[in-house]
Amino acid sequence: MPEPVLSIRDLAVHFATDDGVVKAVDGLTYDVYPGETLGIVGESGSGKSVSTMSILGLIPTPPGKIVSGEAMFQGRDLLKLSKKELRKVRGNQMAIIFQDPMTSLNPVLKIGFQLGETIKAHHPGTKDSEIKKRGIQLLSTVGIPQPERRFEQYPHEFSGGMRQRAMIAIAIANQPSLLIADEPTTALDVTIQAQILEVLKTAQDETHAATILITHDLGLIAEMADRVIVMYAGKIVELGDVRTIFAAPRHPYTIGLMESLPRLTVDEDWLRPIPGQPPSLINRPPGCPFHPRCFLSQGRVRCREEEPPLRPIATGMGPHLSACHFAEELEGATSKLAEPTVAEGVTS
């Protein structure tokens, strides 16, 4: 196994609100290896974004607070860096692609200027002519036609897809070793999504960067990710190879997520949503956070009282971790996204 690019250990991020402490991320541990794409999937509020934003110092503090943990990146703990040192990491060795390209570009500055900003921020003293050359090259890398002309234009002259391309260009401007794509296609329509994914792949090839892909779109994960983390209520509930997760999910929440997707091959009158609501992160249910909604728990005492640890599961398909006491009972379960698509019998 190569050295991980980013190694997060036991990260906990809390937000102090009027109603109490929100444990947005609670004891998160994972590694990102060079060149891989790690998908993080989960419902809204499961702590997907907070986990990555917090290590870059991009959550508002207060109310946010990193309570514990470490995030080793290139031999340094990001959580112990000063603001200034952290700034040197952001946009340089680690870059973020935001969700909404419509609002993530400054409307009064030219695209070229905003591209140049990133380069200048980390390589002060770069000549303007050089920046322009590099910027135009970046724009053509991400597939923007007429990059020379586009370089001099404003965001309002770009379409949504173009803007996201420009955002990707900005993110890879300094050849980062880790790219964080926070729901990069959520704000785009489906045809553009496919294009952006291509661009993202090109960007990865170009920079050899590891990528953390945050999304709630399982299709996107299946398409892009090498490994998958499923998060629920600020914790990892399942972690494994993308093939393993889709072919042999071993956590009831993951199965629930996949069951709630429509499928085209079978005539479905009803989708099966996960019953109930995500738990309050202030007043987390005791034991397994998922047990009130779980088809497997069914009132079992152990689910209610004992918090399941993330433990290795033998699926015979490579490393696979699940945080369910009764993961073994899911033996033989598969998702309808895996081929052949039969997942009947696991849901009750």
Residues near another protein, by CB under 8 A: 56, 58, 87-92, 95-96, 98, 100, 103-110, 117-118, 121-122, 140, 145-147, 149, 152-154, 157, 167, 170-171, 173
Q: Give me the least distance between CB of 32 and another protein, in Å please.
A: 17
d(CA 15, CA 63): 5
For 155-176, b where at least 16 C-beta lie within 10 A, e where not — what string? Answer: beebeebbbbbbbbbbbbbbeb
Of 131 and 288, which CB lies nearer to another protein in the complex structure? Answer: 131
Q: Give me the least distance between CB of 134 and another protein, in Å please.
A: 15
Of 107 and 340, which CB lies nearer to another protein in the complex structure? Answer: 107
d(CA 113, CA 152): 8
Of 172 and 338, which CB lies nearer to another protein in the complex structure? Answer: 172
What angle do the packed helices 160-171 and 190-207 form, to 10 degrees?
Answer: 20
Q: Give me the least distance between CB of 122 and another protein, in Å please.
A: 6
Neighbours of 77 (CB within 10 A): 14
Of 147 and 252, which CB lies nearer to another protein in the complex structure? Answer: 147
For 87-118, b where at least 16 C-beta lie within 10 A, e where not — what string? Answer: eebbbbbbbbbbbbbbebbeeeebbbbbbbbb
Neighbours of 242 (CB within 10 A): 18
Of 114 and 204, which CB lies nearer to another protein in the complex structure? Answer: 114
Q: Give me the least distance between CB of 108 and another protein, in Å please.
A: 4
Of 188 and 236, which CB lies nearer to another protein in the complex structure? Answer: 188
Q: Give me the least distance between CB of 92 and another protein, in Å please.
A: 6
Q: Give me the least distance between CB of 141 and another protein, in Å please.
A: 11
CB 161 within 8 A of CB 185: no
d(CA 138, CA 117): 14
d(CA 24, CA 210): 24
Of 159 and 283, which CB lies nearer to another protein in the complex structure? Answer: 159
Q: Give me the least distance between CB of 238 and another protein, in Å please.
A: 28
d(CA 163, CA 241): 32
Q: Answer positive or negative: Cα dihedral of 104, 107, 110, 116.
A: negative
